Amino acid sequence: MKSFAPTAIVIAVLAAVPLVVQSNATLNFLVVTLMIALAGQGWNILGGYGGQYSFGHAAFFGTGAYVTAILQMRYGVNAWPGFAIGIAAGAALGAVIGALTFRSGLRGSYFALVTLAFAEVLRIVASVAPITGAGVGTLMKLELGARTFQFQSRAAFYWAILALVAVSLVIAELIERSRFGTWLVAVRENEDAASALGVDARKVKTAAMTISGAITAAAGCFYAQYFLFIDSGIAYGTWISVEALLTAIIGGVGTVFGPLAGAIVVKSLGEATRLLIGDAPGLDLIIYGAVLVLVIWIMPRGLIGGFVDVRKFFGRKSVRQVRHG
Amino acid sequence: MADALLAVDRVSCWFGGLKAVDGASLTAPSGRITALIGPNGAGKTTLFSIISGFVRAREGAIRYAEQNITGKPPHELARLGIARTFQIVQPFAGLSVRENILVGAHLHHRARDSALAVADRVGRDLGLIDLLDRPADTLTVAARKRLELARALATEPKLLLLDEVLAGLNPSEIRDIVPVIRDLCRRGITILMIEHVMQAVMSLAEHVFVLAEGRVIAEGAPAQIARDPKVVEAYLGHGAAAKWGASHA
């Protein structure tokens, strides 16, 4: 049986980073990277393990962000329960969208389009509804303190988001080795064959979307706490849908560490191209895009998938040598 | 038949204007091997899909273990003990052989360890023990057929619907797998099989139903069926039985 050791080691190493790195800019970059990794892990549960490629995970990210922000600003709810309710709202939204889309039997690109539509509808509603602050957005009150989930130091925020990422990694590991995870992957591989073996595909997919929604909503809640400002374009914008799926796909769909690895690579790449060729507007994006295409071309199963392939290749080779020896 | 585990009663199904199954009735007695044969396009696979819940019958009823199961979805039927294999094998291509079987084993074993134990046992029974760690998409046709069978068996079925598990195998592979199927029956699993390989039908099945153009045109013991003029005509065309009889007189 696989152990949690790799997860523990990765988290321990990442937890030590603020002890070495003091620069606020670097820590800020890492906080955002981990936040994207968390959103990507949410996408990965549904898209990676379940094979349901959502193009609208902004729906969950935004719902988490708005619910947390509105509860605190308009209803005086404390940040911590606000955070929890934000996550629960993401889960509930996942269950509802899942029940609706999977009941109608939407698969593949139709599923992707419908999730995009849900996110866009929410974005438009948020941009006009009074409760979200409409076009102005929601600005949260600055009130530093652990009680309000607003930390003076970047390191504290870093550890907070790292803790959330750690939980998401453990969730992915638990799913991987559970009956639910086995069934989810079976549905991804072949839905008819899975249902012939007793898998209630619709139920399994809806459950995956619920968990997925909760995790991505947690990233949204964190965004609101960290930046203290959201508007409809940030919360429900396509950017986060793209970042969530990109990190998971680049990192390796259906792997525990895929989204984390993907987020680190994608974010570093974006930062590096921006720094290197910051003067020519748009050029950094072109190079960024070209490198992404290259990565997907060379490693279609993502960084973690590519790593596994390489290890298998060498593993086989050594077995062969032993046999011949 | 009183002890029929499965009873299909005058089931019909049509797609647009095409009547694929037309008032077909059959029974599969408990603990026996029953075969369903018929020329291509007779509606055998459609009838299987109806029994296993993938296609809805427009008319008629299906009873299994004293309950009406008409219109139940596949996953509920699997839970009740009905497993099927697909004519065109449907492995979970990205998974290993063990993981493929594990999906079925999890149906009645929630815990990972006991499900893995079941998967390994079923894999061994079907001669897949050396292939358990291989990706399913690297298997030969014969091994894929065995995997299809293994996955279904891992759900611990009472009724097993086999849709041409012998198709595409060479004679020696067929000789290897026939005893495996006979052994399943000996262990108390009721089997209903669609099969074109008549040599296997003759040696395995106790009772045969013949489907042609969606209707059951004959039933009986295999040897008796093979002599039935209606069956010969369904396969070879009108008047063939008379000619065949004359030349073999």
The whole domain housing A82 covers: 5-324
Residues of B with CB under 8 A from a CB of A: 52, 54, 73-75, 78-79, 83-84, 86, 90-95, 99, 102-104, 106-107, 110, 112, 115, 151-152, 154-155
Residue A167 CB coordination number (10 Å): 14
Look at residue A82 and give its three-state secondary structure.
helix
Are residues B67 and B121 part of one domain? no
Q: What is the mean pLDDT of residues A11-36?
A: 93
- Give the model's confidence band at A28: pLDDT under 50 very low, under 70 low, under 90 confident, else very high: very high
pLDDT value at B128 more than 80: yes
Whether the CA torsion A54, A56, A62, A67 is positive or negative: it is: negative
Q: What is the mean pLDDT of residues A56-62?
A: 97
Q: Is A96 exposed, middle or buried (0-12, 13-18, 19+ CB in 10 A)?
A: middle
pLDDT at B152 (0 to 100): 96
pLDDT at B244 (0 to 100): 65
Q: What is the mean pLDDT of residues B134-153?
A: 93
Q: How far is A183 from chain B (nearest CA, A)?
A: 6
Residue B9's contacts (CB-CB under 8 Å, 6 or more residues apart) are B25, B60, B61, B62, B63
pLDDT value at A322 more than 50: no
Cβ A242 vs Cβ A36: under 8 Å? no
Return mean pLDDT, chain B: 91
Are residues B145 and B206 part of one domain? no
pLDDT value at A102 more than 70: yes
- Give the model's confidence band at B245: pLDDT under 50 very low, under 70 low, under 90 confident, else very high: low
pLDDT at A319 (0 to 100): 45
Is B75's CB within 8 Å of A186's CB? no
What token pair was written down for A131? 């409760």
- Choose among B106, B151, B155: nearest Cβ to A182: B106
Are residues B206 and B181 part of one domain? yes
Q: What is the mean pLDDT of residues B91-116?
A: 95
**CA separation for the pair B227, B233 (Å, rounded):** 11
Instruction: CATH number of the domain at A12, please.
Output: 1.10.3470
CA B13 to chain centre: 19
- Give the model's confidence band at A1: pLDDT under 50 very low, under 70 low, under 90 confident, else very high: very low
Are residues B179 and B59 part of one domain? yes
pLDDT at A321 (0 to 100): 44
Nearest-by-CA chain A residue for B105? A197
Is B152's CB within 8 Å of A197's CB? yes
Are residues B181 and B66 part of one domain? yes
Are residues B243 and B164 part of one domain? yes
Instruction: CATH number of the domain at B65, please.
Output: 3.40.50.300
Q: Which of B135, B124, B126, B127 is nearest to B97 (CA)?
A: B135
Is A177's CB within 8 Å of B90's CB? no
Q: What is the mean pLDDT of residues B42-54?
A: 93
CA B239 vs CA A50, B38, B212, B226, B227: distances in Å: 55, 18, 16, 16, 14
Residue that finishes a domain, picked among B130, B156, B182: B156
Are residues B86 and B41 part of one domain? no
Model ipTM value? 0.90
A1 CB neighbours in chain B (<8 A) are: 112
pLDDT at A203 (0 to 100): 96
- Choose among A178, A193, A201: nearest Cβ to B92: A193
Interface test with B, best of A197, A200, A205 (most B CBs within 10 A): A197
**DSSP secondary structure code for residue A299 in this structure:** -
Q: How far is A8 from chain B (nearest CA, A)?
A: 22
Are residues B129 and B72 part of one domain? no
Is B103's CB within 8 Å of A190's CB? no
pLDDT value at B246 more than 80: no
Domain count, chain A: 1
Are residues B241 and B152 part of one domain? no
Which percentage of chain B shows pLDDT scores above 90?
Answer: 75
Is A197's CB within 8 Å of B155's CB? yes
pLDDT at A4 (0 to 100): 87
Q: What is the mean pLDDT of residues A179-204?
A: 96
Q: Which of A171-180, A193-202, A286-295, B158-167 has the lowest mean pLDDT?
A: A286-295
Residue that finishes a domain, picked among B107, B130, B156: B156
- Give the model's confidence band at B248: pLDDT under 50 very low, under 70 low, under 90 confident, else very high: low
Domain count, chain B: 2
- Give the model's confidence band at A148: pLDDT under 50 very low, under 70 low, under 90 confident, else very high: confident
Residue A315 CB coordination number (10 Å): 11
pLDDT at B196 (0 to 100): 86
CA B77 vs CA A182, A212, B26: distances in Å: 20, 29, 18
pLDDT value at A320 more than 50: no
- Choose among A1, A178, A196: nearest Cβ to B84: A196
**CA separation for the pair A247, B162 (Å, rounded):** 43
Is A196's CB within 8 Å of B92's CB? no
User: Beta strand B159-163 with B215-220: parallel, antiparallel or unpaired?
Assistant: unpaired
**CA separation for the pair B156, B172 (Å, rounded):** 28
Question: What's this model's pTM, rounded to 2 decimal places?
Answer: 0.90
Q: Which of B217, B152, B204, B143 is nearest to B173 (CA)?
A: B143
Residue A128's contacts (CB-CB under 8 Å, 6 or more residues apart) are A134, A135
- Give the model's confidence band at A323: pLDDT under 50 very low, under 70 low, under 90 confident, else very high: very low
Nearest-by-CA chain B residue for A187? B92
Are residues B127 and B96 part of one domain? yes
Q: How far is A36 from chain B (nearest CA, A)?
A: 27
**CA separation for the pair B35, A256 (Å, rounded):** 46
Q: How far is A103 from chain B (nearest CA, A)?
A: 13
Return mean pLDDT, chain A: 90
Are residues B136 and B51 part of one domain? no
Q: How far is A157 from chain B (nearest CA, A)?
A: 37
Q: How far is B107 from chain A (nearest CA, A)?
A: 6
Q: What is the mean pLDDT of residues A177-187?
A: 96
pLDDT value at A132 more than 70: yes
Is A195's CB within 8 Å of B75's CB? yes
pLDDT at B56 (0 to 100): 93
Are residues B1 and B68 part of one domain? yes
The whole domain housing B122 covers: 82-156
Nearest-by-CA chain B residue for A199? B75
pLDDT at A81 (0 to 100): 96
Residue that finishes a domain, picked among B99, B127, B156: B156
N- to C-terminal Cα separation, chain B: 36
Q: What is the mean pLDDT of residues B191-219?
A: 91
Is A197's CB within 8 Å of B52's CB? no
Q: How far is A238 from chain B (nearest CA, A)?
A: 31
pLDDT value at A325 more than 60: no
Look at residue A244 and give its three-state secondary structure.
helix
Q: What is the mean pLDDT of residues A211-220?
A: 98
pLDDT at A315 (0 to 100): 64
